[in-house]
Structure 1
Amino acid sequence: MKKKSYQVCASCTHFQAFRLNSKMVYHCSRLGFETKPAYSFTCWSPKEHIVNLMKKRGVADNE
């Protein structure tokens, strides 16, 4: 299995992380349910700094 460098929930614009009752909760505002930072979905929209980093390193969006 190939490891994805960027295309994970934690680097998506819809990823939200917050503390609830002293526990970290990770949520996708687009999909509307709980997720984990390392999960990956086909609806991934990278944050601006991730796009810039990918361009700098010459990485394609679909990797």
Structure 2
Amino acid sequence: MSRYHCCATCTHFQIKKSPNGMISMCKRLGFETKTDYQFDCWVPREDIKRKMEKESENY
């Protein structure tokens, strides 16, 4: 997979503010996650898609 494949680059990734601080969430799966976790449901954001396309053109 791409070196970009991680939760932080996914369209489903969100940061929520809670009384205990900031929480990284997957809005698709509905649970807490970490920025560097990887799941098969990964859908890259548009800016990440462009970066991946640009890199593939260079090879």
Provide the identity percentage: 46
Partner of 1:7: 5
* Aligned-pair Cα RMSD in Å: 1.6
Structure 2 unaligned runs (5+)?
Answer: none
CA distance in 2, matches of 1:33, 1:22: 16
Distance 2:30 2:17 in 1: 17
The runs of at least 4 consecutive aligned structure 1 residues that moved more than 4 Å come to none
- With the length of structure 1 as denominator, give the TM-score of the two structures: 0.80
What residue number does 1:19 align with?
Answer: 17
Matching residue of 2:30:
32
Unaligned residue ranges in structure 1 (runs of 5+): none
